[in-house]
Chain A
């Protein structure tokens, strides 16, 4: 019951090889087209940062909602949060060095009334979209997200050592505060990182839409880690009932993502205002196949695969669903980033996939290392018995 994850040789070597592939892809990207390289860096780093953030969010929600069943698996989302510090550091680097290529609004001449490139709309937004304030916000997100990940993890480890209800009670408070901050920063960061790429475009739903997508990706990643740990024998206490619950979450939030996708798209399509439809117009004209595939992969596929009770209780099917969801939302983030940066000159090839492999390598490495630092079962959690005897 107090077993820690032991890093295997493969855990050490494979992520390194993956990261090497990533470096090659990034270098190739910069050698061919630096716009494309920055776009793929932002796309992949945002994607894995968001998944890591969901790990912390999931842990916080379990405390605040007094959920008992997830106690046995909570070390997985906890460990996923370990990537956040790298993710946010990369975010800062990407912004500092890539902002001119990624974010149209960072060009100075747009704000100069005497310039022929003067843009009155962006000039109106400069109170929010300006480099110093953006960097301040980025650092604030990093401080909040990484900080709360650290604090929640610290309480969790203290509980292992000392027991008692104090770490649990503190975690409930930390979780509640984090959820409030997350509620605000998940939206504002989506505006910053993604929505401001299409500098003129706006949608009030964008933040929640992004959240729904990242949450379902985080759940899928969590499911895959649980399946790996179970297969390796680290989670004898996790049975099909726990998988069922994870599967239900994946199903529910796939549908929720679709709901928000539909709400945003349908309202913009219906009202047909030029300043809004431009976003979908670019995607429809230049990315049509991917854009349609996005909806099919992220809605139809998980919906059909995970619909029945039995499906959610089988590892093999959860593997399939998890990979579909992760691939689908990787594509969704791609479609949020690339059209605004590259427009019709987009490509999707080794540079994008290789960069993804690299970031995935880093993510796997940080998560497995974090898993190896503490027992897979939280030792003294007050709801542990509920999770060990979970039956639905």
Chain B
């Protein structure tokens, strides 16, 4: 594009009359300076939660999964709820870096780095649950298709649980590579600014000898494009396959054809909520308001309305079709969800996921940092309840009324969940101290198109 033809109706994405040098300074500052008090407080709390989770996990390994509240009827409960919740949260990062890239959404450049980091950390947290639910995690390699001589049995390729093993490990690998690749030029920037030789050496290793030559950039862009192409179907596939874990069964409430796209929409919904939760804090603590502007917040809130509404339509569709199907088991499963003993979980889900995000229709609310923060927490909670509702309420009253039962978690299970939250935040806090939280090189590429000082004089195209 020769010259700046960006429409005047678009608001600037970089505020504060930044120069390239100021951008480097602003974004490298958190890495180069000393951590402040808030960082240490957060770190200690997160790490404590993580340690508590590790203790609960160790206890589970030692004693067995009988320490959990899951029982014969409710065989999947808290752990799988958490698994799906974390996997869902892990969707925003790759969506932002791959799909929004295809849609040429420049605003993604301020948030993609942190969102991708979040993806990786969330997938780590998610993976723990099924790995430990097997009961004998030291035999988890049996999930891989390896020869019988190793003591395992050949895996069942008809099972969606196995598809999940492949889907999630592929997703994790590609996301990690994509994220790290994007980091290379920025790590080189940090390296070049390092004052101590040790730091320079470490960042030199981490940046894989990036020189910033034309050839480096050429290869970088080629690989980025290939990875974006790979990631796009992957974003859709992961939660699709998670939804198959449920939908291939014949359990009312689980077996429904809308599950694949509806799970994906829900995942993006929860992923964006978590990105907002984290970024609203990060922009404040790290003083990044010029880069993660109110416009970014507003745009993310629009995605929240969109995906929240898709999820809402899916809930209503499921409920309606359960009635319409004329299948009494389907009908009962849904009545039991809404009005049975777990009614509170259902209505928490409805309130948090369907009703609260609709508040973003008001411009005042979707441009308010405080309101956005609160609603993003609501969505995080709501999406947790969604998985709880789907999993527990569908199976706690099965086809045989004599086996009907209730489920409640033990403090061990709760402890593991708290531990994963601790792990997630610990990893994120470390990330914010060692890596640039904004894709610096990428963001610089749009400064002259969308920096506020470059937009001022451009009123003649309105």
- Whether the Cβ atoms of B6 and A125 lie closer than 8 Å is no
Which residues from 283 to 328 on chain B have a C-beta closer than 8 Å to any C-beta of chain A? 309-310, 313-314, 317-318, 321, 324-327
CA distance A340 to B7 in the complex (A): 51
Assuming A168-B9, A205-B261, A268-B257, is B317 touching A125 (CB within 8 A)? no
The answer to the question of A202 belonging to the interface, with a C-beta cut-off of 8 Å to chain B, is yes
Flag A195-234 by CB within 8 Å of B: 1 or 0 each: 0000010111111100000000000000000000000000
Give the segment of A5-13, A45-53, A270-278 that binds chain B. Answer: A270-278
Minimal beta-carbon separation of A133 from chain B (angstroms): 13
Assuming A125-B326, A271-B249, is B462 touching A205 (CB within 8 A)? no
Flag B241-252 by CB within 8 Å of A: 1 or 0 each: 000100111100
The answer to the question of A106 belonging to the interface, with a C-beta cut-off of 8 Å to chain B, is no
The answer to the question of B215 belonging to the interface, with a C-beta cut-off of 8 Å to chain A, is no
Flag B1-34 by CB within 8 Å of A: 1 or 0 each: 1110111111000000000000000000000000
The answer to the question of B102 belonging to the interface, with a C-beta cut-off of 8 Å to chain A, is yes
- Helix, strand, loop or mixed for chain A's interface? helix
Which residues from 317 to 361 on chain B have a C-beta closer than 8 Å to any C-beta of chain A? 317-318, 321, 324-327
| Minimum CB distance partner of A183 in chain B | B313
| Minimum CB distance partner of A207 in chain B | B317
The answer to the question of A31 belonging to the interface, with a C-beta cut-off of 8 Å to chain B, is no
Q: Note all chain A residues with C-beta closer than 8 A to B461.
A: 382, 384-385
| Minimum CB distance partner of A119 in chain B | B326
The answer to the question of A386 belonging to the interface, with a C-beta cut-off of 8 Å to chain B, is yes
The answer to the question of B88 belonging to the interface, with a C-beta cut-off of 8 Å to chain A, is no
- Whether the Cβ atoms of A386 and B324 lie closer than 8 Å is no
The answer to the question of A128 belonging to the interface, with a C-beta cut-off of 8 Å to chain B, is yes
Minimal beta-carbon separation of B361 from chain A (angstroms): 8
Interface-centre pick from B1, B3, B236, B321 (highest chain A CB count, 10 A): B321
Flag A253-291 by CB within 8 Å of B: 1 or 0 each: 001000110011011101101010000000000000000
- Whether the Cβ atoms of B317 and A267 lie closer than 8 Å is no
Minimal beta-carbon separation of B7 from chain A (angstroms): 4
Minimal beta-carbon separation of B106 from chain A (angstroms): 11
Q: Note all chain A residues with C-beta closer than 8 A to B240.
A: 259, 263
The answer to the question of B256 belonging to the interface, with a C-beta cut-off of 8 Å to chain A, is yes
Flag A381-392 by CB within 8 Å of B: 1 or 0 each: 011111011011
Contact of B250 among A121, A128, A264, A273 (CB under 8 A): A273
Q: Note all chain B residues with C-beta closer than 8 A to A132.
A: none
Flag A52-68 by CB within 8 Å of B: 1 or 0 each: 00000000000001101
CA distance A168 to B9 in the complex (A): 10
Contact of B248 among A121, A200, A271, A385 (CB under 8 A): A271
CA distance A202 to B259 in the complex (A): 14
The answer to the question of B258 belonging to the interface, with a C-beta cut-off of 8 Å to chain A, is yes
Contact of B257 among A65, A122, A203, A392 (CB under 8 A): A203
- Whether the Cβ atoms of A208 and B7 lie closer than 8 Å is no
- Whether the Cβ atoms of A260 and B1 lie closer than 8 Å is no
| Minimum CB distance partner of B103 in chain A | A65
The answer to the question of B271 belonging to the interface, with a C-beta cut-off of 8 Å to chain A, is no
Q: Note all chain B residues with C-beta closer than 8 A to A348.
A: none
Flag A165-208 by CB within 8 Å of B: 1 or 0 each: 10010000000000010011001000100000000101111111
Assuming A202-B324, A382-B462, is B7 touching A267 (CB within 8 A)? no
Category for how many chain A residues contact B:
35 or more
Category for how many chain B residues contact A:
35 or more
- Whether the Cβ atoms of B7 and A382 lie closer than 8 Å is yes
CA distance A65 to B303 in the complex (A): 10
Minimal beta-carbon separation of B345 from chain A (angstroms): 21
Q: Note all chain B residues with C-beta closer than 8 A to A68.
A: 6-7
Contact of B255 among A124, A267, A385, A392 (CB under 8 A): A267
| Minimum CB distance partner of A123 in chain B | B326
CA distance A191 to B325 in the complex (A): 12
Q: Note all chain B residues with C-beta closer than 8 A to A268.
A: 257
Q: Note all chain B residues with C-beta closer than 8 A to A165.
A: 9, 462
CA distance A63 to B461 in the complex (A): 18
CA distance A121 to B325 in the complex (A): 8
Q: Note all chain A residues with C-beta closer than 8 A to B327.
A: 275
Q: Note all chain B residues with C-beta closer than 8 A to A392.
A: 104
Minimal beta-carbon separation of B202 from chain A (angstroms): 38
Assuming A165-B462, A204-B256, A259-B260, is B7 touching A270 (CB within 8 A)? no
Contact of A204 among B103, B310, B318 (CB under 8 A): B318
CA distance A266 to B241 in the complex (A): 12
Minimal beta-carbon separation of A281 from chain B (angstroms): 16
Flag B84-120 by CB within 8 Å of A: 1 or 0 each: 0000000000000000001110000000000000000
- Whether the Cβ atoms of B257 and A267 lie closer than 8 Å is yes
The answer to the question of A248 belonging to the interface, with a C-beta cut-off of 8 Å to chain B, is yes
Q: Note all chain B residues with C-beta closer than 8 A to A270.
A: 248
Q: Note all chain A residues with C-beta closer than 8 A to B325.
A: 202, 275
CA distance A140 to B3 in the complex (A): 48
What are 29 inter-chain pairs, A to B, with CB distance below 8 A?
A66-B9, A66-B10, A68-B7, A121-B326, A125-B326, A200-B326, A202-B325, A204-B256, A204-B321, A205-B258, A205-B261, A208-B261, A255-B233, A259-B260, A260-B261, A263-B240, A266-B244, A267-B256, A268-B257, A270-B248, A271-B247, A271-B248, A271-B250, A273-B250, A382-B461, A383-B7, A388-B5, A389-B2, A391-B1
Q: Which residues of B contact A (CB under 8 A)?
A: 1-3, 5-10, 102-104, 233, 236, 240, 244, 247-250, 255-261, 309-310, 313-314, 317-318, 321, 324-327, 461-462
Q: Which residues of A contact B (CB under 8 A)?
A: 65-66, 68, 120-122, 124-125, 128, 165, 168, 180, 183-184, 187, 191, 200, 202-208, 248, 252, 255, 259-260, 263-264, 266-268, 270-271, 273, 275, 382-386, 388-389, 391-392
Besides A204-B256, A383-B7, 14 other CB < 8 A contacts? A120-B326, A180-B309, A205-B258, A205-B260, A208-B258, A255-B233, A263-B261, A264-B257, A270-B248, A271-B247, A273-B255, A382-B461, A386-B5, A388-B5
Closest 8 CB pairs of A and B: A204-B258, A205-B257, A263-B260, A121-B326, A389-B5, A383-B7, A385-B461, A270-B248
